[in-house]
């Protein structure tokens, strides 16, 4: 038994080094918010946020195109008001069918 203990380097026998090593292993691998799973969780969340960013950029482009059409064409403006806000002319009746 003493033979195996003599093979261990002296700096590994130091209680402070052992404590720091155990603490490091605990923080990196065992704790609830350990480094490994937190890292992968953050990467997963980053990919989700990047996908949402692309989606919202596409939505912004779509809305800008629609706004440009509404500003330039009065017929489009009337169509948009009738479809989205259920507006009508004074002499018309409006029937909404769902």
The whole-number pLDDT of residue 1 equals: 61
Closest among 63, 86, 4, 47 to 13, alpha carbons compared: 4
The whole-number pLDDT of residue 20 equals: 94
3-class secondary structure, 8: coil
The answer to whether 38 and 46 are in contact (CB under 8 A) is no
Q: pLDDT means per 10 residues in the chain (98 residues)?
A: 75 88 88 83 95 98 94 89 84 82
Residues 6+ away with beta carbon under 8 Å from 94: 86, 88
Q: Give the C-alpha separation, 64 to 19, whole Å.
A: 60
Q: Give the C-alpha separation, 7 to 72, whole Å.
A: 85
Closest among 23, 19, 53 to 35, alpha carbons compared: 23
Q: Which two tokens stand for residue 56?
A: 């919202």
């Amino acid at each position: 038994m003493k033979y195996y203990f003599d093979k261990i380097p002296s700096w590994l026998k130091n209680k402070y080094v052992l404590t720091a090593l155990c603490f490091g292993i605990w923080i990196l691998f065992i704790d609830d918010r350990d480094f490994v799973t937190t890292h992968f969780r953050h990467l997963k969340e980053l990919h989700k946020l990047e996908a949402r960013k692309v989606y919202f950029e596409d939505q912004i482009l779509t809305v800008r195109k629609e706004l440009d059409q509404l500003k330039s064409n009065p017929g489009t403006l009337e169509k948009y008001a009738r479809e989205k806000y259920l507006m009508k002319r004074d002499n018309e009746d409006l029937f909404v069918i769902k």
